[in-house]
């Protein structure tokens, strides 16, 4: 599917020039004079990005950015301005903008920014789908399996989990095996990375857990797999 670039700028000559340049580069281009014109076209479903002037009549570029986020629009935004404004650029980047360019923007620089933005968006979407799939797997666990899952990825031994949950080691092993099967995990490492992606385990906790696991393995400790 051809990527769509939405250009919001009150300068008609700029819209025409940019539109011509981007169409020649193979993009589908839609131009808008005001923020309200773009909002009237929501939802924007095709893959692509938004090129947005900071200063617009009526609703400003940063305000439109906020409104798009509120509407659930995930298209990346590239801001343009004729007057460098460091505080404004910092605010828009913190709010999720992909780039902040100063006019006049050389054509190749604009195309590079668009390609980066769209590639970043695709990566983000893929990660979002991956996390949604992991969340569905986690939600499919029983309450007890979730407890075992959390303790396992934090490096607890089977006997420790059994003591903490007041169940037998045999029961822990059964729940642990069920968790592995439901997550289609072939190793503890895969389960640990799934937990990190779900926000159950921090990166520092993951490093500490894996380091501890390797140390115990090297010393011959039985992890109870």
Q: CATH number of the domain that 182 lies in?
A: 1.10.10.10
Instruction: Give the C-alpha separation, 176 to 63, whole Å.
Output: 49
Whether residues 105 and 26 share a domain: the answer is: yes
Are 118 and 26 a contacting pair, CB within 8 Å? Answer: no
N- to C-terminal Cα distance for the chain? 47
Please report whether residue 224 resides in a domain: no
Please report whether residue 34 resides in a domain: yes
Instruction: Give the C-alpha separation, 147 to 119, whole Å.
Output: 37
- State the residue range of the domain holding 157: 140-218
| Residue where one domain finishes, among candidates 130, 148, 174 | 130
Please report whether residue 223 resides in a domain: no
Please report whether residue 135 resides in a domain: no
Please report whether residue 61 resides in a domain: yes
Interior angle at CA 61, CA 58 and CA 64, nearest 5: 80
Please report whether residue 16 resides in a domain: yes
Residue 81 pLDDT? 85
Whether residues 18 and 64 share a domain: the answer is: yes
Whether residues 171 and 94 share a domain: the answer is: no
Domain count, the chain: 2
Whether residues 116 and 64 share a domain: the answer is: yes
Q: CATH number of the domain that 82 lies in?
A: 3.40.50.2300
Beta strand 28-32 with 48-53 is: unpaired
| Residue where one domain finishes, among candidates 92, 107, 130 | 130
Residue 87 pLDDT? 65
Whether residues 125 and 144 share a domain: the answer is: no
Instruction: Give the C-alpha separation, 148 to 158, whole Å.
Output: 9
Q: Which residue has the tokens 């396992």?
A: 152
| Residue where one domain finishes, among candidates 130, 159, 178 | 130
Which residues are 79's β-sheet partners?
Answer: 52, 100
Residue 208 pLDDT? 73
Residue 165 pLDDT? 95
**How confident is the prediction along the chain (225 residues), in pLDDT tens digits per residue?**
689 999 999 999 999 999 999 999 999 999 999 999 999 999 887 789 999 999 899 999 999 999 998 998 888 999 988 776 656 666 666 666 788 888 888 999 999 999 999 888 888 778 888 899 999 999 999 999 999 999 999 989 999 999 999 999 999 999 999 999 999 999 998 999 999 989 898 877 777 776 766 666 566 544 444
Please report whether residue 225 resides in a domain: no
pTM over 0.85: no
């Amino acid at each position: 599917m051809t990527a769509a670039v939405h250009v919001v700028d009150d300068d008609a000559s700029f819209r025409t020039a940019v539109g011509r340049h981007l169409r020649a580069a193979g993009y589908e281009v839609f131009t808008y004079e005001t923020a309200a014109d773009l909002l009237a076209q929501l939802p924007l479903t095709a893959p692509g990005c938004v090129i947005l002037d900071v200063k617009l009549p009526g609703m400003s570029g940063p305000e439109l950015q906020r409104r798009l986020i509120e509407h659930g629009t995930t298209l990346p935004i590239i801001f343009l301005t004729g007057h460098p404004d460091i505080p404004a650029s910092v605010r828009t980047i913190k709010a999720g903008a992909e780039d902040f360019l100063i006019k006049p923007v050389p054509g190749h620089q604009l195309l590079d920014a668009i390609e980066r933005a769209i590639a970043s968006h695709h990566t983000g979407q893929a990660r979002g789908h991956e996390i949604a799939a992991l969340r569905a797997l986690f939600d499919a666990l029983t309450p007890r399996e979730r407890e075992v899952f959390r303790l396992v990825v934090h490096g607890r031994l089977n006997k420790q989990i059994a003591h903490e949950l007041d169940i037998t080691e045999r029961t822990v092993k059964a729940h642990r095996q069920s968790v592995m099967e439901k997550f289609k995990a072939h190793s503890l490492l895969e389960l640990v990375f799934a937990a990190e992606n779900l926000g159950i385990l921090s990166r520092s906790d993951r490093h500490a857990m894996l380091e501890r696991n390797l140390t115990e393995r090297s010393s011959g400790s039985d992890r109870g797999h």
